[in-house]
Each structure stands twice: as structure tokens, then as C-alpha cells.
Amino acid sequence: MAKLNQIIAVEKGVKSRAHQDLTTAHHGLQKPALLAGIARTYQPKDEEGEQLPPESTLVQVKAEDVLRDTAKTLTRLFDVTATKDWANCAARADVTVDGRVLVADVPVAYLLFLEKQLTDINTFVRKLPVLDAAESWTQDPSTDSWKTEPVKTVRTKKVPRNHVKAEATEKHPAQVEVYYEDIPVGYWTTVKFSGALPARRVNELLDRVEKLQQAVKFAREEANGAEVTDQRVGDAVFGYLFG
């Protein structure tokens, strides 16, 4: 008895062959010359007349034969697809992580859905914002976020000063140069806040996602290993359609 994964493996080839054969049959039936035949003989008016050989063209394509061959090809496709879809309704497996059944008795279709969604979630988790590793962060319950230790910095103000380069004389005024001096006038106390996540937390989430991805793949392989019952629906369908 075949297994579901074997049916899935051959379905693509059967579908491709059926499409190719159906296209060829369709094109063949669109050429009237292939469907037409002729037979004619020549008889002169009298015995002394010119004798000509008979002429004939055989029918190369018979529509009934095309219908029969098309039904045969499509019957295989219909049967393989039916076998897969019927089996998918029954094929199930548990999603198990670290020895614990997370989701029990999951159908194949939903396992495929989970695989796709977990791929998107993996990308989402990888792009989560991470706290700046250059800072030391602690949780702040009052803001429900992360914060750094207070950092005190000096606030300065530029105050102009005069520098006498040359004293005044009877003939020349004093030469004075103005410069600015930074004078402390206060202190800033800064605390940074962030809604990002510690790298450890992001790594834990990513580890969980990857574990679940692996578990879903294992479950899908297990479900696809289920034995299938061959379905025979093509004969009924084409017996009605082309019969």
C-alpha cells in the first residue's frame, strides 16, 4: 500500500503529463486537415480514355480516439489527486516540543499552514529591537520599561573674558582680546529609558520559534507517512462525461 508522501511525490509529474497531453489533444483537434480523409477513383468515358490512379487521404485524428486517450490521462490525474486529498483528510500527527505534545492530532493542511506562519514569525522575532549593549539596563516598574543608572553631567555657560595683550600708553590704547571661558552653571542628571528587549529575551524567543518549526516539520513528515487507500473517481467522472 502506498504512503501519502509517495502520492505527493508523483502528483506533480502526473499533473504535468496530463496538462501536456490535454494541450496536445486540444491543438490536434483544431486542425481540420488531420480529421479529414478522402478516397476517389477515376473512370474514363470510354475504353480509350486516359486511366488515372485512385487517390486517397487517410483520417489521421479521430475525435473519439482523442476523447478516449484524454479520459485515460485525466483519469490518472483525478485518481492520484483524489487519493491525496482523501488521505489528507485522515492524515494527522501530534506537534511535540521537548517531549510535550503542544498540539494533538493535527491535520496535514493545518501543519502546512503552521509551517508558513512560523517562517513569518521567525522573521518577525529576528527583527525585534534589542537594548543597546553599551548601556547597563534595569527594569523600571513605574514605567514598565528598561532604564539606565542616572548619569550626572555638567552644564556650562560661555562667559566673556578680557585678556590685555598690551597696556595702554600715551600714544596707544590698551590692546584687549576678548575670549570666552566655560563656567559650570549647573548639572544634568540623565536617565535613559527603552521599550526594547534584552538580547537574551530575543534569543529565547527565537529558540522557541525554531524548536516549534522543527516539531511541525517532524509532524508533517509523520502525517505524510500514513498509508493511503487508492481512490478511483476518474472512471466515474469520464464515464459520464465522455461515455
Task: Say yes or no: 235 and 168 in one domain.
Answer: no
| pLDDT tens, position by position, 26-37 | 888 888 888 899
The burial of 2, by beta-carbon neighbours within 10 Å (0-12 exposed, 13-18 middle, 19 or more buried), is given as middle
Give residue 110's pLDDT: 94
Task: Say yes or no: 1 and 72 in one domain.
Answer: yes
Task: Say yes or no: 48 and 161 in one domain.
Answer: no
pLDDT band at 175 (very low <50, low <70, confident <90, very high): confident
Task: Say yes or no: 24 and 99 in one domain.
Answer: no
pLDDT band at 223 (very low <50, low <70, confident <90, very high): very high
DSSP 197: B
Task: Say yes or no: 2 and 74 in one domain.
Answer: yes
C-alpha angle 18/116/228, rounded to 5°?
A: 50
Give residue 155's pLDDT: 93
Task: Say yes or no: 122 and 210 in one domain.
Answer: yes
Does 173 reside within a domain? yes
- Asked whether the predicted pLDDT for residue 1 surpasses 80, the reply is no
| pLDDT tens, position by position, 76-110 | 999 999 999 999 988 999 999 999 999 999 999 99
Tell me which residue range forms the domain holding 39.
Answer: 1-91+227-243
Average pLDDT, the chain: 92
Q: Which of 243, 241, 234, 237 is nearest to 76 (CA)?
A: 234
